[in-house]
Amino acid sequence: DLILFWHRRDLRISDNTGLAAARSHSSKVVGVFCLDPNILERDDIAPVRVTYMIGCLQALQKRYAEVGSQLLILHANPLQAIPALAAALKAKAVFWNWDVEPYSLIRDRTIIDALKEQGIQFLDQNWDQILHFPEEIRSGLNQPYTVYTPFWKNWISKPKANPVATLENAEGLTEAEAEIAKLNGAIALPTAKDLGFLWDRDLVIAPGEAAALEKLEEFTNSAIYEYKEQRDFPAVNGTSQLSAAFKFGAIGIRTVWQATLEALQNSRSDETQINIRTWQQEIAWRDFYQHAMYNFPELAEGAFRETLKNFPWQINEEYFQAWCEGKTGYPIVDAAMRQMNELGWMHNRCRMIVASFLTKDLLINPQLGEKYFMQKLIDGDLSANNGGWQWSASSGMDPKPLRIFNPASQAQKFDPEGEYIREWVSELRSMDTEYLVTGKIPASERDAVGYPHPIVDHNLQQRQFKGLYQQQRESI
Ligand code: FAD
In a domain, 399, yes or no: yes
- Split at pLDDT 50, 70, 90, the class of 399 is low
Residues 52 and 112 in one domain: yes
Per-residue pLDDT of 264-302, as tens digits, reads 999 888 888 999 999 999 999 999 999 999 999 999 999
In a domain, 388, yes or no: yes
The pLDDT score that the predictor gives to residue 124 is: 65
Per-residue pLDDT of 175-211, as tens digits, reads 999 999 999 999 999 999 999 999 999 999 999 999 9
Ligand 1 centre and the CA of 380: distance in Å?
9
Dist CA 209 CA 212 (whole Å): 5
User: What's the mean per-residue pLDDT of the chain?
Assistant: 96
Dist CA 363 CA 457 (whole Å): 12
Instruction: Dump the DSSP string for 405-443.
Output: --HHHHHHHHSTT-HHHHHH-GGGTTS-HHHHHH----H
Residues 254 and 368 in one domain: no
Mean pLDDT of all residues in 219-248: 97
In a domain, 177, yes or no: no
Instruction: State residue 175 phi and psi, 5-degree precision.
Output: -60, -40
Instruction: State residue 345 phi and psi, 5-degree precision.
Output: -145, 145
Q: What lines the ligand 1 site, CB under 6 Å?
A: 231, 239-243, 246-247, 282-283, 285-286, 289, 348, 351-352, 355, 373, 377, 379-381, 384-385, 387-389, 392
Residue nearest to atom 52 of ligand 1 (CA): 241
Which of 90-99, 137-146, 227-236, 262-271 is least confident?
262-271
The pLDDT score that the predictor gives to residue 123 is: 72
Ligand 1 centre and the CA of 410: distance in Å?
19
Residue nearest to atom 44 of ligand 1 (CA): 348
Which of 70-84, 267-281, 343-357 is least confident?
267-281
Residue 403 pLDDT more than 90? no
The pLDDT score that the predictor gives to residue 352 is: 97
In a domain, 167, yes or no: no
Residue nearest to atom 15 of ligand 1 (CA): 282
Residue 214 pLDDT more than 80? yes
Kindly report the number of other CB atoms within 10 A of residue 197's CB atom.
Answer: 18
Residue 402 pLDDT more than 90? no
Ligand 1: nearest atom to the Cα of 240? 3
Residues 39 and 119 in one domain: yes
User: What is the DSSP code (8-state) at residue 72?
Assistant: E
Indicate the residue among 271, 295, 319 that finishes a domain: 295
Task: Give the domain CATH number at 86.
Answer: 3.40.50.620
Radius of gyration, CA atoms only, the chain: 24
Residue nearest to atom 22 of ligand 1 (CA): 286
Per-residue pLDDT of 294-325, as tens digits, reads 999 999 999 999 889 999 999 999 999 999 99
Residues 392 and 440 in one domain: yes
Indicate the residue among 295, 323, 343 that finishes a domain: 295
Residues 288 and 340 in one domain: no
The pLDDT score that the predictor gives to residue 78 is: 98
Residues 31 and 80 in one domain: yes
In a domain, 171, yes or no: no
Cα-based distances in Å from 332 to 12, 288, 369, 412: 37, 29, 17, 10
Per-residue pLDDT of 53-66, as tens digits, reads 999 999 999 999 99
The pLDDT score that the predictor gives to residue 270 is: 87
Residue nearest to atom 47 of ligand 1 (CA): 348
Query: Across-strand partners of 32?
Result: 6, 72
Indicate the residue among 263, 295, 327 that finishes a domain: 295
Residue nearest to atom 2 of ligand 1 (CA): 239
Residue 346 pLDDT more than 80? yes
Rama region for 169: left / alpha / beta (φ>0; ψ in -120 to 50; rest): left
Residues 5 and 76 in one domain: yes
Q: How many domains does the chain have?
A: 3
Probe residue for ligand 1, chosen from 151, 243, 390 as the CB with the greatest number of ligand atoms within 8 Å: 243
Residues 137 and 100 in one domain: no
Residue nearest to atom 46 of ligand 1 (CA): 348
Residue nearest to atom 48 of ligand 1 (CA): 243
Residues 222 and 276 in one domain: yes
**Structural domain of residue 54, as residue ranges?**
1-127
Ligand 1: nearest atom to the Cα of 227? 2
Ligand 1: nearest atom to the Cα of 382? 28
In a domain, 400, yes or no: yes
The pLDDT score that the predictor gives to residue 476 is: 82
Cβ–Cβ under 8 Å, residues 94 and 88: no
Task: Give the domain CATH number at 287.
Answer: 1.25.40.80
- Split at pLDDT 50, 70, 90, the class of 98 is very high
Mean pLDDT of all residues in 379-387: 98
The pLDDT score that the predictor gives to residue 121 is: 83
The pLDDT score that the predictor gives to residue 303 is: 93
Ligand 1 centre and the CA of 244: distance in Å?
9
Residues 214 and 238 in one domain: yes
Q: How many helices (H) and strands (E) does the chain have?
A: 23, 5
The pLDDT score that the predictor gives to residue 398 is: 76
Ligand 1 centre and the CA of 449: distance in Å?
34
In a domain, 204, yes or no: no
Dist CA 246 CA 257 (whole Å): 12
Binding site, annotated residues for FAD: 227, 239-243, 279, 282-289, 379-381
Ligand 1 centre and the CA of 466: distance in Å?
27
Residues 340 and 365 in one domain: yes
In a domain, 201, yes or no: no
Residue 234 pLDDT more than 70? yes
Q: How far from chain centre, in Å, is Cα 108?
A: 21
- Split at pLDDT 50, 70, 90, the class of 247 is very high
Per-residue pLDDT of 5-23, as tens digits, reads 999 999 999 999 999 999 9
Ligand 1 centre and the CA of 233: distance in Å?
15
Q: How many CA atoms lie within 13 A of 350 on its CB side?
A: 24
Instruction: Dump the DSSP string for 84-97.
Output: HHHHHTT-SEEE-B
Residue 400 pLDDT more than 90? no
Ligand 1: nearest atom to the Cα of 247? 25
Residues 394 and 470 in one domain: yes
